[in-house]
Chains A and B, each alone.
Chain A
Amino acid sequence: MTAIVETLDLTRRYGTNLALDHLNLTIPEGAIFGFIGPNGAGKTTTMRILTTLLPPSAGEARVAGVSVTGDPRAVRRLVGFMPDFFGVYDNMKSWEYLDFFGRAYGVAAPRRQQMIGELLDLVDLGHKRDEPVMSLSRGMKQRLSLARTMMHDPRLLILDEPASGLDPRARIELRELLKELRALGKTIMISSHILTELAEMCTHIAIIERGRLLAAGEVQQILRSIRAHRIVEIRVVAGAARAEELLRSHPEVLELRREGERDGEDASPLDDASGPHLLLVDFAGDERAMGELLAALIASDVRVSHFAEQAGDLEDIFLHVTRGIV
């Protein structure tokens, strides 16, 4: 697969605030690319640079090999952008809305007519053709916006939090719609801070925080790399201090944290009187080694009420990655 989006040390500053810090992204053609990060991570900033709405402070961004600063018009022809808000006009019917943007992209009249019909059907708004845009529900406006991004038949769709504010049913519909678009050969870049929203439909994900790329690649591959070390939850009823001592010196324990605490810097030993303690262990061993670990704990007279590996779905990857454990 060839890359449709490539960024090289892409950097963007707002004053002294570094919104993007040497971001290196690659999106293969035909992917559904989930772009995930907490609020203020720099998702919108990246997308605005890729849609030529914002100049980078340093570094480069290319869409299908075309530089966004070198030839913005060529990039605009390749990209359909749906921002995280809907821009709608009052006084305008659904078909007129699409017609207007078709004109704005220089789509010829006969082709425009054909596209409007097809796209309204695709997003299931055929029956709303003559309704004013303002009268549509949020989910319908969202779908109309999606149809708008398709008017000039772009190769890459950049969708900024398209699912925000949608009810579960509308989310499922959106997901189906994106799959259809992918089947049409589009590459889709989609941002969100809710991971489960993207979990099933993305082929690739990138995780970004404070302008830095934390992880990127195929969903399966990222899942596998996360699995290499697992998080084990251990609930200790008695002998917590001993347990900590043992775990700290264990070769396969990469990191040990107490529940509800960030860096594990608190040196004072745990007191059993203050109730059961939950320890989180970043464990590099396999399932067998986990068994050995439990046996070792029991052998040194630690009373364990719960010993389990945390269920590792995308949500966890996100949490772990953004906590800096991986």
Chain B
Amino acid sequence: MLELNPILVKDLRSRMRGARAYVLLTIYLLILSGVTLLLYAALAGSIGNDLNAGRQIGRTLFLTIASVALVEVCLITPVLTSGSIAGEKERQTYDLLIASLLTPWQLVWGKLASALAFALLLIAAVAPVMSLAFLFGGVSLAEVVIAMVGLVVTAVLYATIGLFWSALTRSSLGATSFALGSVILILLGIPFLIVIATLILGRDVSSDFLEAPLFIYLSRLFIAAHPFIALGVTATQISSGENIFVEVVEAGASSVVVPSPWLLYSFLSLIFTMVLLFFCVRLLNPTRPVTTEAPARAKQTGAPDGA
């Protein structure tokens, strides 16, 4: 008989048993609907009553809801997982799990799945609010689907980032700080680097370089690592009538076909997720006793073991 992952069962049980999950869900929805209402009140007063105005309201609402939901997913999902493995270490149950017949992969997957189950609940809760925007028109179904895909992909990657720190550090507090630190680094670091790069490249770089396909690919890939930029650019492209899946970049005489930013983003996120999961599984392998010992001690033990 096939049994559910034990970690998943246990964590879902305890997550849903406490009041925390419901408080979090309520706060999340309150923020989302509060912003929506405020925005609607502001827009409804300033824009006229014709059909176009309705579309405009719908579109603005959609973009706002998607952005707020994305911010919330970026900040909540790493916190959901960062306490998971570190929490086992704090409760001193970590050794018991490692000494059991659970495989490291089962442990990692159980922790991730229980956090994702909750994250998906949060994302699913966005749907009714989004359908409100849908009612006004101005938003295509494709856009809604892309937004949802973007949210899910973000949830998976950022949950894995939290999980990675959780496997690496000993305390949940440390793991949570590192996880949120990484998220902030990604969200602020990439735009910062983009600005720097534009400043440098804007001055004295030949157009040959800027129009080389390799540069075009790499720069798009880099930009697409940022969820807001990737999804925002996609939204602009779709509203200006471009293809959903590809973007054609004019480079001098020829043109280069690049996948749409949201596709690039999903692809990148998937790769990073898999790499991080790989490291998580390695960290949980007791033949590398890094995780159960103080970092300073772990460093000491590392050397003779490696030999």
Contact = CB atoms under 8 A, between A and B. Distances in A.
A92 B185 CA distance: 37
Contacts of A53: 95, 98-99, 286, 289, 292
Interface string A67-78: 001001100110
Given A89-B10, A91-B18, A100-B6, A73 B300 contact: no
A54 interface: yes
Interface stretch (A105-113, A216-224, A307-315): A105-113
Interface residues of A, number: 38
A136 B61 CA distance: 53
A245 B1 CA distance: 80
B286 A86 contact: no
A81 B96 CA distance: 8
- Give the contact-size bracket for chain B: 20 to 34
Interface in A136-189: 148, 152
B287 A55 contact: yes
Contacts of B301: 13-15
Interface in B276-307: 286-287, 289, 292, 297, 300-301, 303-305
B1 A73 contact: no
Contacts of B304: 13, 15, 57
Given A13-B304, A14-B301, A103 B99 contact: no
B91 A88 contact: yes
Interface string B119-139: 000000000000000000000
Question: Helix, strand, loop or mixed for chain B's interface?
Answer: helix
Contact of B99 (A51, A86, A91): A51
A87 B92 contact: yes
Given A91-B14, A152-B101, A54 B92 contact: no
A147 to B, nearest CB: 13
A83 B95 contact: yes
Contacts, number: 90
Contacts of A51: 99
Contact of A73 (B9, B10, B101): B101
B99 to A, nearest CB: 5
25 contacts: A15-B300, A15-B304, A53-B98, A53-B99, A53-B289, A55-B287, A55-B305, A57-B305, A76-B101, A81-B99, A83-B96, A86-B92, A87-B93, A87-B95, A89-B10, A92-B14, A100-B6, A100-B10, A103-B9, A104-B101, A104-B102, A105-B101, A109-B3, A148-B96, A152-B101
Closest 10 A-B residue pairs measured CB to CB? A15-B300, A87-B93, A103-B6, A104-B100, A87-B92, A91-B14, A85-B92, A55-B287, A87-B96, A51-B99
Interface of B: 1, 3, 6-7, 9-10, 13-14, 17-18, 88, 91-102, 286-287, 289, 292, 297, 300-301, 303-305
Interface of A: 13-16, 48, 51-55, 57, 69, 72-73, 76-77, 79, 81, 83, 85-92, 96, 100-101, 103-106, 108-109, 148, 152
